[in-house]
Amino acid sequence: MARRGENIYHRKDGRWEGRYIVGRRLDGKPKFRSIYGKSYGEVKRALVALKSKALAAQDQPAMLVYGDGSLSDWMSYWLDVTEKPYIRETTYLLYRRSIEKHLVPWLGGYPLRELSPAHIQAMVDELRNTMASSTLHGLCRLLKSILACAVKKRLIIESPFREIRMPKFRQRPPRVLTTAEQARLERAAMEAGNLEYLLCLYTGLRLGELCALRFEDIDFEANIMTVSHSVKRIAAKGESGATTCLVVGGAKTESSVREIPLPLFLSGMLRHRMEEQNAQDSDFIFAGRDGGAAEPRTVQKRFARLAGKTGIRGAHMHTLRHTFAMRCLERGMGYKALSEILGHSSSQMTIRHYDNCTMEKKQRVMRSASMIA
């Protein structure tokens, strides 16, 4: 049976067959050729390569190869040929997962030229019942980019993504620890020797940045920490099925590369940790068992256990980053300075995230209110 919109079939002899258009017969019907492989992934990759070669070999190739094909075919080309060379591996995998999980099942089978606003609206109306509005908006931004590229390549005259009624985007306020919760967590972290959680609470590091941190990133004389790398566990599809691997790469974005002033107590604790680990064969401040970067999932699980022991509910590692940001604002730090410390691309992004009061702050203001008369 074919996967919807892809022209890839699982044959009775166990092989996979992929079909692609090579031209038109006299009656106008498409002429197909087939390729074969041992796995679905092998055939799909070969199809994308063949279509790309055909695209480059003809005068009006795109109209022939993709304009007459399915949206699924075009999405595969868009992702693997036009985007992959220019985006991060993690971004590529995120796009691929969104396309395969949502866009192909809903829209992949439609011919690119026949995709209509009604088709897209039907998908949006259904997914809004099961998907967070932020996720749905992200999915639709991806689809708009795919269709905009099709317009640019002259596959279609105009994008069908128009006059689509989207659900209102609701930004949930971030989970921030109360001062009482933070005090309990700090005491528990000190007792357990979990410096990593204190570091996140007082610098706003992301989990991946924390795991990639090396002692060479700390200037102990100036008490400054340089953030320039991040650890991610990424999924990779191979013939044997889905696998994952841990990679240490560059920071999330250009603005994520930054210098963060360290509180004196943290600088002292980090120096002590360096002296303790001096005999160990690892440059990472929070090393894994093999001496490499710590596994983010392990750090997260340890935090969940620690939070549970202290009676803190609904918190995760990113909660520490949110808490750091809110404490900075409560102490009078400006949005621009906070944005630079957090590694946001702009202060507007920081404002969107944190321009609301914590319940504690609201209560303090309300308690201090008194009648004017």
Domains of the chain by range and CATH?
A: 8-152 (1.10.150.130), 179-368 (1.10.443.10)
d(CA 354, CA 340): 14
Closest to 114 measured CA to CA, from 78, 77, 74, 61: 74
> For residue range 292-348, what is the model confidence (pLDDT) as tens digits?
889 999 999 999 999 999 999 999 999 999 999 999 999 989 999 999 999 998 999
Angle between the 335-342 and 347-354 helix axes, to the nearest 10 degrees? 100
At a CB cut-off of 8 Å and minimum separation 6, what does 111 contact?
A: 68, 69, 70, 71
163, 168, 174, 178: CA torsion to nearest 10: 170
pLDDT of residue 252: 72
pLDDT of residue 300: 96
pLDDT of residue 26: 57
Q: How far apart are the first and last CA of the chain?
A: 79
Q: Are 107 and 99 in contact (CB under 8 A)?
A: no
pLDDT of residue 187: 97
Angle between the 195-203 and 296-309 helix axes, to the nearest 10 degrees? 90
The reply to whether the predicted model has a pTM over 0.95 is no
pLDDT of residue 43: 86
pLDDT of residue 357: 61
> For residue range 60-97, what is the model confidence (pLDDT) as tens digits?
554 556 777 899 989 998 998 889 888 888 888 899 99
The label of the residue with tokens 């993709």 reads 66
pLDDT of residue 328: 94
Mean pLDDT in order along the chain per 10 residues (373 residues): 64 87 65 85 80 56 66 91 86 91 94 94 94 92 96 90 87 88 96 96 96 94 94 64 71 84 95 80 84 91 96 96 94 93 91 74 70 63
Closest to 227 measured CA to CA, from 203, 257, 197: 257
pLDDT of residue 11: 87
Instruction: Say how many C-beta atoms besides its own lie within 10 A of residue 141's C-beta.
Output: 11
Q: Are 140 and 106 in contact (CB under 8 A)?
A: no
Is the CA virtual torsion 90, 151, 113, 31 positive or negative? negative
> In 207-358, which ranges are continuous DSSP H helix?
207-212, 264-276, 296-309, 317-330, 335-342, 347-354
Express the helix, strand and coil content of the chain in percent, nearest 5 each: 55, 15, 30
